[in-house]
Chains A and B, each alone.
Chain A
Amino acid sequence: MKLDAALSADALEELMEAYLDAALSSRRDASQPARDLAAFGRRGQQFVLHWGAVIAKDNAELAYQFTAFAPRAMRLMDLDAVESWLLYAMDLYDKKGQIPAIRAFQQVADFAANMQERLAGMALEDCSAVLERFVCGLNGRPLKIAPADIPYTDTESVFLPPILGRLPDKEANFRLYKAMAVHQWAQNWYGTWRAGLLLEALDSGRLAPRDLAIFHVLETFRLDACIARDYPGLRRDMTALRLELDGEDSGWRSAVDRLTEPGSDVRETLRLVEALRGRPPRPCCYRGELQPDAVRTRLAIRSALEQDRFRIALAKMLEDQDGAPPGEDRPEAETLPETRDRLATRRHEDPDSPNGVRFDLMLDGKPVAPPEDVISTMESIIQDHGEIPPEYLVAAGPGLYKRGLGDDERAAESVWAGTYHEDGAFPYDEWDHSRQHHRKGWCILREHPVPPSDPDFYYQTLRKYGGLIKSIRRTFEVLRGEDRLLKRQSDGEDVDIDALVDAYADVHAGLEMTDRLFTRMHKDERNIAVMLMVDMSGSTKGWINQAEREALILLAEALDTLGDRFAIYGFSGWTRKRCEAYPVKTFAQAYDEDAKARICGIAPRDYTRMGVAIRHLSHLLAEQEARVKLLITLSDGKPDDYDHQYRGEYGIEDTRQALFEARLNGIHAFCITIDETGADYLPHMYGPANYAVICDVSKLPLKVSDIYRKLTS
């Protein structure tokens, strides 16, 4: 017998019995596992026998389960993956006992599927940013990307599965995502939902709900033909995917000839359903499903909104034309019927647009050019209706105008309260160090106003540190930028007479003459923007918070003297979904009584999720025009949050990553902390020279200004 020849079932059974003895009985022997394993080569067999024996040393029952399920595992995965499977099960045994471990062995198929997806799969969160931009670039109304098990669109978002692992590698799975997104986009752009035809057919019963699937099959042919005409590269990708995942087309194509001709629209598809009803649908890897109800809801909201918006825009155009707002005499009127006669649209051939036509807006018989935002509203209306419906062509009256404004105000308020939509909420990525990758849009941050408090605290602080403030002012005044006359420059506005005289002397003495003969005015502009990021976590309660506020007042006084632009933001939060930033003083706001009262109003709140706060504030800081951008954090401890995950290494690594991103944006970060153990983790996060630990809280106010002066001179 050659060493590497496969063993027979009998031989295997004998070897198995040797280590499984304790788990076998009259009702259970090793013959079935042995028969299963006999189908594999020697290497696989050896692998199972080896690990079976190893596991048996811990637990014979588990060794049996492993031996019994290993052949199936080897059919699903390569040996490395099988090894991870058994180690995973044994790990469960160590931590949770025998039952969960047995379950893990039995659910080998799930593990294999997961494994495949983890290795080769693509997660939506990793590519949704790319897909969203891609779809937006294609054309039409921008569509958001969101997760759902089966792909569909509601005409404002494209829903895609959270993970795809059907294909062997990430890149191929990304192509499948792209094809899915393109198909949903195509429904929007090439008019599956246009003019409400499909919804109407469903409502009226002309298209039965059970025929929706066949309609979708047919419509896919039509859309694919449109895509093929306009985007040859996409056609190539999508055809290849179908060949790989769906197999050959079995005679459908000839049945749907008419649909693939240019100019055919959704009506054609609806007609064909009649003829082809009952055929088994052809599978398609990127088609997903149609969700008429989701579309209906979105469409109703959007149409009403856009109709109003459009009519208001018409009123503005009439105002421009006539020099007075129309309908002033009827403050309650929502539309002004007499304007109908003055408004019209004109159709144009336009090969660039989806149904080959474009519409000009006509006022008093002459074409008018609407402003940019009205154009995009018009485009959206045309995308939905195929035209500007005639009933839209009437100017809004003051009544509608007022209603519109009211809505906006309400919306703005609820945004602040953090309830309405996700508007006014800033999503930020977070760094997961164990996965070495960003969790996309993981944290939601909102800005909340700081209620001003009694400014008395401000005046008390001024009295308490009166002498100190004077001396801080003096030292800072020296730093202030001033015009200086630079002499002996090689280039400048004026001749430097002194230098010239010297140069003449040099020439007469036979020396070489210098060219540094000019004076130049040089303005030492400090051009610094500082963002002060203040820890408002619960742990600052009491005298830390008081010291923070005092320090801010002292520093703000100094910055005001210097003329450096500065902003003060507090930060706090409670889990990743409720991260908060508190604008105490924005860059645009003056350092006035209100700002001072807000400093006094800084109060402890919840937790310290630092990464997201740094990302938000450095984003604001990066927008400033300044040569030096400084982010100074005042803190009392490590990054921390209510969910335990953020505590410890995860939070530290995320903060470090956020600071790293800030540096890429040209921001210098510095941390001032009163945590005595700060030296243990701050160098790792901020870099060795970019932090200061202040042990005595009462020294904080004094030190902060001192540190700032050193940092910026």
Chain B
Amino acid sequence: MQHVLRVLKPEDYFIEDEPYYEPVGDEIPVFEAAYRNSLPILLKGPTGCGKTRFMEHMAWRLHRPLITVSCHDDLTSSDLVGRFLVKGGETIWVDGPLARAVRAGGICYLDEVVEARKDTTVVIHPLADDRRVLPMEKLGELLEAPDTFCLAISYNPGYQSVLKDLKQSTRQRFVALEFDYPGSALEQKIVEKESGIASALARQLVKFAHMTRNLKGQGLDEGASTRLLVHAAKLMVSGVAPVVACRSAIAQALTDDPDMLAAVNELGASLF
């Protein structure tokens, strides 16, 4: 069998198949309403609770391309907006992902935005209020956003230091959607659908997740996310023993502390 690999620019890529997303509350109608009113959106929530998946789902729903930028502490504003490059002896301007998303009228999703340098978050300000323009200082131009453009950022309030808190002037521009791990029944359903695992095992996995979430603040920074459960379930479907799957996909991902690791492993072993 031969795969034909298509190479597309993100702004030309439209998600065709519905990404599986299980709504936890009214996030879908709220997002749609915000989108129709050209309001930017802030997704809050712990890691692995479905924020990225939600964005993919919304991009599909709204028929827009999704351009995702994972922010890190070296991310400069030129990384977002664009810069001059030298090609064939000439300097030419190359758009950054944010500028490309604006031109294409797509959805730009800045993941973990607090990780980026402070000056970087400021460039999104004019885009995030009713001006809806992206200043491209080096070109001396302003890029106006079409109605279909949408800016979304994510932020995990859980474990960032005070130094990295999102500035009020930034956060107050956004409609905030709060995400959390789904309730037991829903989370079990997600694990089943994502991995094809048997219900009984999915149930135990969700229970295990709750055990680790009991330990949050008692030595763990975070409990097991839905993502980790899906990982463990996939290993189990491929024939890995449940206790081993929990150890490798979940316990090891949560902590390096030997006592905590031993305790989490014991918790896993108590369920299967």
Contacts and interface: CB of A to CB of B under 8 A. Distances in A.
Interface of A: 129-134, 136-139, 142, 178, 182, 231-234, 237, 352, 491-495, 500, 503-504, 507, 513, 515, 517-518, 625
A490 to B, nearest CB: 10
Nearest to B78: A493
Contacts of B91: 495, 500, 517
A493 B161 contact: no
Nearest to A351: B184
Interface string B127-144: 000000000001000000
Contacts of A182: 270
B259 A136 contact: no
Interface in B205-239: 210-212, 214-215, 218-219
B33 interface: no
Interface in B58-109: 76, 78, 83-84, 86, 89, 91
Interface stretch (B20-28, B43-51, B260-268): B260-268
**Interface core residue of A237, A493, A494 (most chain B CB under 10 Å):** A493
B270 A139 contact: no
B259 A129 contact: yes
B263 A232 contact: no
Which secondary structure dominates where chain B touches chain A?
helix
Contact of B272 (A130, A233, A493): A233
B76 A133 contact: no
A73 to B, nearest CB: 36
Interface of B: 76, 78, 83-84, 86, 89, 91, 138, 161, 163, 184, 210-212, 214-215, 218-219, 243, 259-260, 262-264, 266-267, 269-272
16 contacts: A129-B263, A131-B263, A133-B218, A133-B264, A134-B263, A138-B211, A178-B266, A231-B270, A231-B271, A233-B270, A233-B272, A493-B78, A494-B138, A495-B84, A517-B86, A625-B161
Contact of B262 (A130, A352, A517): A130
Contacts of B219: 133
Contacts of B78: 492-493
B130 to A, nearest CB: 28
Given A134-B266, A137-B264, A507-B89, A493 B76 contact: yes
Given A232-B272, A504-B89, 11 more contacts: A133-B218, A134-B267, A137-B211, A137-B214, A139-B214, A233-B272, A237-B270, A491-B83, A495-B84, A503-B86, A625-B163
**For the complex of A and B, 4 pairs with smallest distance between CB atoms:** A133-B263, A129-B259, A137-B211, A134-B263
Nearest to A182: B270
A503 B243 CA distance: 61
B90 to A, nearest CB: 10
Contacts of A352: 184, 210
B269 A233 contact: yes
Given A493-B76, A493-B78, A137 B259 contact: no
Given A139-B214, A233-B270, A130 B263 contact: yes
Contacts of A504: 89
A136 to B, nearest CB: 5
B255 to A, nearest CB: 10
B89 to A, nearest CB: 5
B271 A233 contact: yes
Contacts of A129: 259, 263
A513 B211 contact: no
Contacts of A492: 78
Contact of A513 (B86, B138, B243, B263): B86
A232 B242 CA distance: 12
A513 B138 CA distance: 23
A352 B219 CA distance: 23
B262 A136 contact: no
A129 B257 CA distance: 11
Contacts of A142: 218
Given A231-B271, A234-B270, A495-B91, A133 B260 contact: yes
Contacts of B259: 129-130, 133
Given A500-B91, A515-B86, A137 B212 contact: yes
Contacts of B215: 133, 136-137
**Interface core residue of A134, A234, A625 (most chain B CB under 10 Å):** A134
Nearest to B243: A233
Contacts of A234: 270
B86 A137 contact: no
Contacts of B272: 232-233
A141 to B, nearest CB: 10
**Interface core residue of B89, B215, B243, B259 (most chain A CB under 10 Å):** B259
A149 to B, nearest CB: 24
Nearest to A175: B266
B120 to A, nearest CB: 12
Nearest to A140: B214
Given A352-B184, A507-B89, A136 B266 contact: no
Contacts of A133: 215, 218-219, 259-260, 263-264
A409 B271 CA distance: 44
Nearest to B86: A517
A277 B86 CA distance: 93
B76 to A, nearest CB: 7
Contacts of A137: 211-212, 214-215, 263-264, 267
Nearest to A135: B263
A491 B161 CA distance: 29
Nearest to B208: A137
B204 to A, nearest CB: 8
A708 to B, nearest CB: 24
A513 B264 contact: no
Contacts of B263: 129-134, 137
A495 B86 CA distance: 9
Contacts of B184: 352
B260 to A, nearest CB: 6
A182 B161 CA distance: 36
A231 B269 CA distance: 9
**Interface core residue of A133, A178, A232 (most chain B CB under 10 Å):** A133
Given A129-B259, A130-B263, A231-B271, A139 B211 contact: yes
A343 to B, nearest CB: 25
Contacts of A500: 86, 91
A536 to B, nearest CB: 31
Contacts of A138: 211, 214, 267, 270
A494 B82 CA distance: 11
Nearest to A139: B214
B70 to A, nearest CB: 18
Given A139-B211, A142-B218, A233-B271, A513 B89 contact: yes
